[in-house]
Structure 1
Amino acid sequence: MATAKIKKGDTVVVLSGKDKGKSGSVTKVMPKEGKLIVEGVNIITRHKKPTQMDPNGGLEQREAPLYVSKVALADPKDGKPTRVRIEADKDGNKVRVATRSGEKIDG
């Protein structure tokens, strides 16, 4: 699978699905599965049985993984979805650049 150009800590915008238009910070990236977890997006509810560790049990809400293709990096200038390209800066280091505004994302 090709690199997704999205890293942990990036702000992304959801492009499709029930949370379309929401944005959040990436908390975990799973490149082998092509998925990532975004803070506050794609919340699911799980029913938990009571155990000795958690005697009450009940409902647990947490973020479920999203496919990388369903999100786009948020432009640092205006927060709208943008594509990402990789350029070399004057020192020869690779830098991610937002296609929409041309601003550098890291560094």
Structure 2
Amino acid sequence: MQRIKKGDTVEVIAGSDKGARGEVLHVYPKEDRVVIERVNIVKKHQKPVSAGRQQVQPGIIEYEAPINLSNVMLVCSQCDKPTRVGYRVNEDGMKVRVCRACASDID
């Protein structure tokens, strides 16, 4: 079970975007990286290329680059603080993510 999933709100705790909050757009578990909405914006200079049927738009394109998973913390919806993630097994046997600060369920 992943500590951070797509759709979670996270806060950046290290790097140039420290303190920024955003929603997780993609999770790459093999590379330990996440893409966060409006965080780690990079520019890419792109040439016009016609690859088959599609035409690639030329110019300077801005997009969100992946950031290392160790540089983000999950924001608890109850206490609105960045927190570590714990786990608990419910009575029905389901494993649930738990906020370490306020002990409330995240899922």
| TM-score, scaled to structure 1 | 0.89
Shift of 1:89: 1.3
Shift of 1:4: 4.7
* Residues 1:5 and 2:3 aligned together: yes
CA gap 1:25/1:40 in 2 versus in 1, 3 angstroms? same
Deviations 1:66-89 (A, max 9, x none): 110000000112322100100011
* Residues 1:98 and 2:99 aligned together: yes
Q: Distance in 1 between matches of 2:14 and 2:44?
A: 23
Deviations 1:4-41 (A, max 9, x none): 51111111000011110001111111111111111110
* Residues 1:75 and 2:73 aligned together: no
Q: Distance in 2 between matches of 1:4 and 1:68?
A: 11
Amino acid at match of 1:84: V
Displaced runs of 4 or more, over 6 A? none
Aligned residues: 103
Which structure 2 residue ranges, 5 or more long, are not aligned? none
When the two chains are superposed, the root-mean-square deviation of aligned CA atoms in Å is 1.4
| TM-score, scaled to structure 2 | 0.89
Alignment of 1:1-107 (within 5 A): 4-52=2-50, 53-54=55-56, 57-106=58-107
Equivalent residues of 1:9, 1:27 under 8 A apart = yes
Which structure 1 residue ranges, 5 or more long, are not aligned? none
